[in-house]
Amino acid sequence: MPVAATLQYLIPAEAPHLLGEQLARAGAHVRPEAFAKSAGADFDALGLMDRGRRLAEVLVRHLPAHFPDAAALLVASMGQPLGLDAKGEPVASGDVPSSFFYLPHSLFIATQGLGHLNEAMAAQHALTQRFTAEFSLRPYLQQHTQATLDHLAAWSTDASAHVRRAVSESTRPRLPWAPRLHVFDNDPEPVLDLLTRLRDDPSSYVRRSVANHLNDRVKSHPDRLLSLAREWLDGPAVPSTREALVRHALRTALKSGDPQALALFGHGKPSVILVAKPRVQPRNVGIGERVEVRCELHNPTDRAASVLADWRVHYVKADGSRSPKVFKGQELTLAPGARVGLHKTLSLHQMTTRTHHPGRHLVELALNGQPHAIGHFDLR
């Protein structure tokens, strides 16, 4: 079944009736049968986003015209919040078909509440604990920037990890599938203050969002990101969780071999480690097959030496040129005179994220960002 056809069932055919029932129980003047019928006879044929938009339109027709009254009913109708497991990762509540059941709620709040900031923010505080408010918050950040930031500052200390995560996700200037927030792309400082509040959050769910947000900054403010990373890693007793966050935030810079990023983790200088016994097998391979790449690292010195080792494959593009793809390797410490083998299997199956093309592909091992040729394979 195509992915698009599968995604549409995140808002299943029975969603209009279920939403009508929830609203009726919350006190809205709604008859579930009539509410469901107003979603249209073609509801089953709609894709995911169109189902969400259609139900948002139905909400506009059936809820009070005064947004504060409508928002109160919408929040009262919501099911149980998402849970968190022992590691702080989200767990479905199970009382709705999926969290996307709340996509219509998000679209309704995003378009109908802009004239009522406080009520809209309260509704999104409830929404983000069940689905996400990262998209519905963006119109408020665009039209009521400082007032919305003030609300998010309060959210940064909220008891719910879902609410704290929304602070980071909603302010990402280049959030996937969302309009650019140029105001923060141009001036990141107001948002960096919020992220600093979250850098040691107890939930890995929140910290990962902060790292992803900062990784976006590599494209627009690389120098500021590096200076912030230095600030966060400066001083005694830096928590290991913060170091891991910064490392993840700098993953693009680290993979590209940025010397300043590498230096933050002790890998800014060329490595003394030698590469030996490089091997690529087979050298001739077909699309859908696999390639094995290997080498040996040798520390020829009389001191222990650490190195950051990444595999780098220069894939052939459709036009015949090559584009490098870095596969995260590992951080190694080799004792004096020690040797260690490295190995990676490359799958050449066609993927949604990467299409393989015939031609000669080059393989390198990057040690502290410095490339070392391993070999090549020819893809039929």
Residues 14, 32: Cα–Cα separation, whole Å: 11
Q: Under DSSP, is residue 141 helix (H, G, I), strand (E, B) or coil?
A: helix
Residues 350 and 287 sit within 8 Å (Cβ to Cβ): yes
pLDDT for residue 5 is more than 80 = no
- Average pLDDT (349-364) is 95
* 80: confidence class by pLDDT, cuts 50, 70, 90: very high
* 1: confidence class by pLDDT, cuts 50, 70, 90: very low
* 2: confidence class by pLDDT, cuts 50, 70, 90: very low
**Domains and their CATH numbers in the chain:** 63-264 (1.25.40.290), 274-379 (2.60.40.10)
pLDDT at residue 213, rounded to an integer: 95
Q: At 40, list the tokens.
A: 């249209």
pLDDT at residue 3, rounded to an integer: 47
* 89: confidence class by pLDDT, cuts 50, 70, 90: confident
pTM of the model: 0.86
Question: Which of these, 106, 210, 224, 218, lies nearest to 168 by C-alpha position?
Answer: 210
- Average pLDDT (103-132) is 97
State percent of the chain over pLDDT 70: 99
How much is the mean pLDDT over the chain? 94
Residues 137, 167: Cα–Cα separation, whole Å: 10
